[in-house]
Each structure stands twice: as structure tokens, then as C-alpha cells.
Amino acid sequence: MAIFAPVYRPSEGQQTFLTRQQKRERKRKRDSEASNDSSESASSPEPDDRRRPVSLHPVRKTDPYHVAGHTREAPLPPPPFPHAAVRLKITSKQPVEEELAALTPPLYATKQAPEDISTSSRRRHIDNLTTVLHTCMLRGDWQRASRAWGLLLRTETAGLGMDVRRHGRWGIGAELLMRGGPASTQAAVQRPAAGSVQPSHSDRVAGVEEPVFTDEGFRLAREYYERLILQYPYKPRIQQHLMTAVAAYPALFNIWIYEVQDRSHRARRRPSADRPFSPSSSEHSANVSSTSGAHGIAADIRKKELAEALPIAQRMDELMLSPPYDSSLPLLQLRGMVGLWLSDLYTVHKRRSSSDDGASNHSPEDSAQARQSRRSAEAEKQKALIMIKKVKDAGGEMPKAVLELLENDWSEMSG
């Protein structure tokens, strides 16, 4: 509060309602007294000097206080005023949970703040386990990498476990299951150097060893993806960076295709004397016993590969009947490649049937089987072209070698 009286009186807009009301009352009294005096001495009225306030002084329009809108009675705002605007202190509203928790007795129990995981020993432990995991995977120590992965899955931070859907972690589990079998640990695996390419077919023939996978590892990997698909189904409003069944299905079919091709590749590389080719049915056993030589064994391997590839195409066709899988580019590309693969297998089966026709004087049953193989090959090829056309219409890309191979059929279908 100011000690001395102000130099000027505030304007009407800056005065309070009580001040203005008091001024009106004083003015009304002065007017009534003036009317009484005028009636008594109307001939020579004397000016009333009481109308002018003694402390009233003229206000200069250039006065800084007047320009800033501050009275001289109120203290000035703290620095950096007048070089910067006045900083208003905004009082944060207390949350409702804290207000309820402050009552006696409290009506709400606040949650305890989690520990600072950025500097805690638990966070350092998780970082060390992650380093051990990736180091063991790079060195080919799959058993130790599997143990580190299991520890990471069982570790919790602030009551939450690791989310395998983030940062591509869901693929690590399948990789460890595929490579963690007994044959994988006993085989000598030569790891390529950083930045190098995978060994080609000529390198494999020349003696360069490649990773060995087992049927048990493939089965475990496929079951792993099946569980992920059931646990994380497709939801339209889910975050895009999280893994769903739309991303897990292409990985499942890729592993399934690789399993069938790897089994056929291992069967071809196995010596004929040590070929325990276990047939799946009595009919297959009869065909193996009737054929002789390398040509017959290779044909039987392709026939078994065809029988194992047909369930893959059937599963994909059933899946792609409903959205969003019918417009998924990875699934469309994969189904087109599977169609070309089946077409080649049917073509080989047709040649085998034709050669058997020549050996058995054109048996009607074998001729019908050859015609059925030819029709199946054409149907799979047409289905592959349809899938490739959908990929091109959606803006996707197919391998250049595939487009060059199907250049004539592609031009006919596009026309």
C-alpha cells in the first residue's frame, strides 16, 4: 500500500463501483444545497468552490503509468517487466485422484510410481541379456541364444513382460526354434562374413557347408507362428507398428514352403545307398520299388514334394477368401510364386506319366493321369497370373525373372 496520496486520480474506468457511487451522492448533495442557496440569493449567486477537489491534478497522456494502465498505488510487476510481458503464474489443478487420496479417510489409493528403469540394475540386466542373445546368434551358438531368449521372455519390468510384437522380436523365436535342433548343433555351420552374400548352388556343390535344419525344428517354428496368429489376430484399429496375423501368415507360409523344399533338397543330396526314403503310403512304396535308377528316384522325390505342396496352396486359397488377406501384397506375391511352383511340379509329373505310358504301351489309366496333370498345371499357372496381375494393379513388384518367364502369357492376359 502506498504511503503518499496519488499524484492524479484514476479515470472513471479505473475507479471502483463504490467510489463512483460515493461521488454521485456527494454531487447530489451539492446540487441540492446549490438549489437552496440560489433560491435565497438569486440576484448574486456565489461560485461554490467545494465542487473542485483539492487533490485533483491534471493527467498527462504521456505519463508511463497512464500508458501502461497501472496506478501509482499498486506495486509494479517484477522483472523482466517492462522489457517483457508479465508472466502469469498458472496454478496447476490438482488431479481428482490426489484430492480423493488426501481426504480423511482416503477414498482412493494412488498407484506407486515405478522405479527408474533407465538406471536400475534390472534394466542393465536386460541390456546384457539382449547383447548375449545377439552375440550368440551371430556366432551360431543357438543353444545359449535360446536360453538367453527364455530369460528375456520371463523377465518383467514394472509388472510388464516383454512384448514380442515390437521391433521385430517375434521373428527371433522362430529362428531359434528352427536352428535349435540336435542336428543343427552337431553340424558345422560356416557363418558368412558381414556384408557377404549367401552361398550359391555352385558353392554348395563345391563343398561349402550350409545350415542344417531338422523336420522337428520346422514343425516347432510353424506351431510358434500358429500360436502367434491365435494370440494376436487382426484388428482394424490396432497400431501399425505392432505385429498381427497379417504379418504372421506370410512368415508361416514362407517357413512351410522352405520346409518342403529343404526336405526335397536333402533327399536329392543323400547318397542312393544311404537313402532311407520312408514312403507315406503303400502306393508310394510300390512306385518306389517299381522304379530303378537315379531318374526314378528323382521323380519320386518330386512327386512327394508335389503332395506336400498342395496343402500349402489349399490353406492359402482358404485364407485369401476374406479381407484383409485378399488384398495383402505379401500373400498375393507368395500365392503367385506358389502357383508357378506347383505348375512346374505338375509338369514334371506329366512327363513322368508320359514316359510310363511309353513303357507300358500307353495304358489308359496313365494317359488319363497325364492329362489331369496337364490340366492342373495350366490351372495353377492361370491362378499365378491372376495373382501377379493383382500385385501389379496394387502397385507391387514381382521378380524380373518371373515376368520375363511369363512374358507371353502375361501379354495375352493383359490384352
The verdict on residue 361 lying in a domain is yes
Q: What is the amino acid identity at position 409?
A: D
**Residue 16: domain span:** 1-35+56-70
Report the domain count for the chain. 2
Longest Cα pair distance anywhere in the chain, in angstroms?
Answer: 156
The verdict on residue 218 lying in a domain is no
Does an H or E element contain 160, and which? Answer: strand 160-161
Residue labelled with grid coordinates 543323400: 270
Bridge partners of 249, per DSSP, are none
The last residue of one of the domains, among 70, 95, 119, is 70
Give per-residue burial for 312-324: e unless 16+ CB within 10 Å, then b: bbeebeebbeeee
pLDDT for the residue numbered 39? 64
The verdict on residue 120 lying in a domain is no
Q: Write down the mean pLDDT value for the chain.
A: 75
Whole-structure pTM value: 0.59
The last residue of one of the domains, among 15, 48, 70, is 70
pLDDT for the residue numbered 144? 93
The verdict on residue 123 lying in a domain is no
Phi-psi category of 140—alpha, beta or left, where left has phi over 0 and alpha has psi -120 to 50? left
The verdict on residue 293 lying in a domain is no
Cell numbers representing residue 14 in the block: 479505473
The verdict on residue 266 lying in a domain is no
Query: Is residue 76 within 8 Å of residue 68, measured between CB atoms?
Result: no
Mind giving me the DSSP string for 288-313?
Answer: HHH--HHHHHHHHHHHHHHHHHHHHH
CA 325 to chain centre: 17
> Which positions of the chain have pLDDT values less than 70?
1-18, 37-59, 89-92, 111-119, 181-211, 239-240, 271-294, 349-366, 408-415
pLDDT for the residue numbered 24? 82
pLDDT for the residue numbered 42? 53
Cell numbers representing residue 194 in the block: 558381414
pLDDT for the residue numbered 219? 92
Rounded-to-integer distance, Cα 402 and Cα 410, Å: 10
The verdict on residue 272 lying in a domain is no
For the purposes of burial, counting CB atoms within 10 Å of the CB of 123, is it exposed (0-12), middle (13-18) or buried (19 or more)? middle
The verdict on residue 208 lying in a domain is no
Q: What does the radius of gyration of the chain's CA atoms come to, in whole angstroms?
A: 44
Helix (H/G/I), strand (E/B), else coil: 85: coil
3-state helix, strand, coil in the chain (%, to 5): 60, 0, 40
412-415 contacts, C-beta under 8 A, 24 or more apart: 413/385, 413/386, 413/389, 414/389
Rounded-to-integer distance, Cα 348 and Cα 370, Å: 10
